[in-house]
A = this chain, B = another copy of it.
Amino acid sequence: MFTNYSQMLSETLTSIFKKLPAKSVHAHCDGPCGVYDPSSARVTAEAVLSMTKKLIALAPAGNDQASISAYNNTFSRFVAIKEEESQKAKKELLILWTDYFKPEHLATYPDLHDTFWKAAKLCSACKVNIDQTKAEELLAAVQKIHSMFWSSKGRSDSWVTAS
């Protein structure tokens, strides 16, 4: 910023600036804020499981037109919410994988890549199907990542779900 401006000023003020220590702005962290928390992935995975169960249980209240339209409205919305929450779960997991975990973690967690890849594929599977087993596997995968994450920070936070 102020290319020529600062250039000229720096020529004028060289003697002063030479004394200043160069500071490194991003020493320890390539992420923006450093607030990583697997609870975001956990909440969305719980929502995926909840929507999956509700879709399985869903049935029209009657066979009149209004009941069937209500049923279709709900079915269509629940599929869309399941889709969105699966997508968010995937996104939250991949933020942990690409931004939080670093090469030095690979020694401690040699199955890091595989764990995240399978968890991400479970998110896709939960979108494509109405499959309670897959939704439960996704929640279990998030729990595994929860443990991996907190152990990497030297904490052992317990796993508490909202539902």
- Taking Cβ atoms with an 8 Å cutoff, the residues of A that contact B are 1-10, 13, 16-17, 20, 22-26, 30-37, 39-40, 43, 46-47, 50-51, 54-56, 58-65, 67-81, 83, 85, 90, 94, 97-99, 113-114, 117, 120-121, 123-125, 127-130, 157, 160, 162-163
List the B residue with the shortest CB-CB distance to A24: B61
Whether A77 touches B77, Cβ cut-off 8 Å, given contacts A20-B4, A65-B7, A162-B36, is no
Assess A35 versus B26: contact at CB under 8 Å? Given A8-B13, A63-B5.
no
Cα A20 to Cα B63 in complex, Å, equals: 9
Chain A interface mostly: helix
Each complex incorporates copies of this chain amounting to: 6
Contact A69 B130 (CB under 8 A): yes
Q: A40-B40, A50-B34, A124-B30 are in contact. Are A17 and B63 (CB under 8 A)?
A: yes
